[in-house]
Amino acid sequence: MNASGSWAARRLLLGLAQTVAVVLLVFVLTEALPGDAAVSFAGDQPDPESIAAVRASMGLDRPAHERLAAWAWGLLHGDLGTSLTSGRPVTAFLADGFGPTLLLTGLTVVLLVPAGVGLGVFAARHEGRPADRLVSAVLLAVYAIPEFALGVLLVTVFALRLGWLPPTALGYGTDLLAHPAALVLPVLVLLARPVCSLARLIRAGMTDALAAPHTAQAQRYGVSGARLRYAHALPVALTPAAQQLARTVDWLLCGVVVVEALFVIPGLGTVLMNAVADRDIPVIQGLAVVFGLTTVLVNLGADLVTHRFAPRAEVAA
């Protein structure tokens, strides 16, 4: 417990350092982008006098290190700052976008684990046989389709041709649960690729484990087939799968930009796109903190799972 606790603490500290690094990097990169919020605002009417006025009133004329320091100071007090473009608190932006993204992510993960594990186990059980080859071929094919293309395809077939589902969530706002039909296609698009990679990993891990000498030994001792598969082989396969799942959750939370744009779901991906386009640095930084923390926490969770299943693997980071 103690050893494990200090391992977790070290892991957490590392995560914090990573978050700070991400935030600094974001700040530096945003500074390096051409133009700033004032130029962005001026758009096609770049009257130098107005740009200067906007810059001054946004505080953009202050040196970068001063702005970073002020922001970091606020952060330590739980204040993420104020949006440059709207004057609303950054936390309000994040709260607005978080719900839809979390809903999409949650639904996807809930469906992803049984689907991915089930398909992987199924393929492993039929290794080399037509069923395995069919599943593997389909998974590879689906994995190769970019989200945008898949989304357009699904919308065309199921929403516009067949009329079974709404093509977008336009006008539903954050109240997506009241319109569950609008969630089907986005979740399908989000599921498509992670299911493929997860199932492939599970299949590979299980076939390896089932072919390993210790499995053969267990079989000789008379352990039943189902027990072998689920108690012995599956946990070994789950170790890389947990890591993969963590990466997937990052990916889902930190954007789903394409899916949100295509289906008009006002989540964090949309907030991020708008903030980058507006050069709204406080919002971008706030999102970087949230994404950074999420990534760190999810990976920490995955590492703990891995630590539990394969304690000798020493996967500290």
Give the binding site for another protein (CB under 8 A).
Answer: 33-35, 37, 39-51, 53-54, 57-58, 82-88, 93, 96-97, 152, 155, 159-160, 163, 166-168, 170-171, 173-174, 261-264, 266, 270-271, 273-275, 277-280
Give me the least distance between CB of 220 and another protein, in Å please: 59
Give the residue with the Cβ less far from another protein, 89 or 235: 89
- What separation in angstroms does the CA of 127 have from each of 114, 210, 233? 19, 11, 14
Give me the least distance between CB of 116 and another protein, in Å please: 28
CA atoms within 13 A on the CB side of 200: 15
Give the residue with the Cβ less far from another protein, 161 or 220: 161
Tokens of residue 199, six digits? 């199932």
Q: How many helices (H) and strands (E) does the chain have?
A: 14, 0
132: how many CB neighbours lie within 10 A of its CB? 17
- What separation in angstroms does the CA of 260 have from each of 82, 168, 276? 24, 9, 16
Give the residue with the Cβ less far from another protein, 95 or 140: 95
Give the residue with the Cβ less far from another protein, 21 or 277: 277
Tokens of residue 213, six digits? 């000498």
Give me the least distance between CB of 223 and another protein, in Å please: 54
Give me the least distance between CB of 109 and another protein, in Å please: 25
By the 8 A CB rule, do 119 and 271 touch?
no
Give the residue with the Cβ less far from another protein, 59 or 311: 59
Angle at alpha carbon of residue 274, lines to 268 and 277, rounded to 5°:
140
Give me the least distance between CB of 227 and another protein, in Å please: 49
Give me the least distance between CB of 57 and another protein, in Å please: 4
Q: What are the backbone dihedrals phi and psi of residue 216, each rounded to the nearest 5 degrees, phi first?
A: -60, -40
> Which residue in this structure is represented by tokens 């891995």?
306
Give the residue with the Cβ less far from another protein, 88 or 214: 88
Report CA Rg, the chain: 24
CA distance 193 to 83: 34
- The backbone region for 128, taken as left when phi is positive above 0, alpha when psi lies in -120 to 50, beta otherwise, is left
Tokens of residue 278, six digits? 């507006």
Give me the least distance between CB of 309 and another protein, in Å please: 41
Give the residue with the Cβ less far from another protein, 19 or 83: 83
Give the residue with the Cβ less far from another protein, 168 or 197: 168
Which of 38, 98, 46, 92 shows the shortest CA–CA distance to 62? 38
Q: Is 134 helix (H, G, I), strand (E, B) or coil?
A: helix
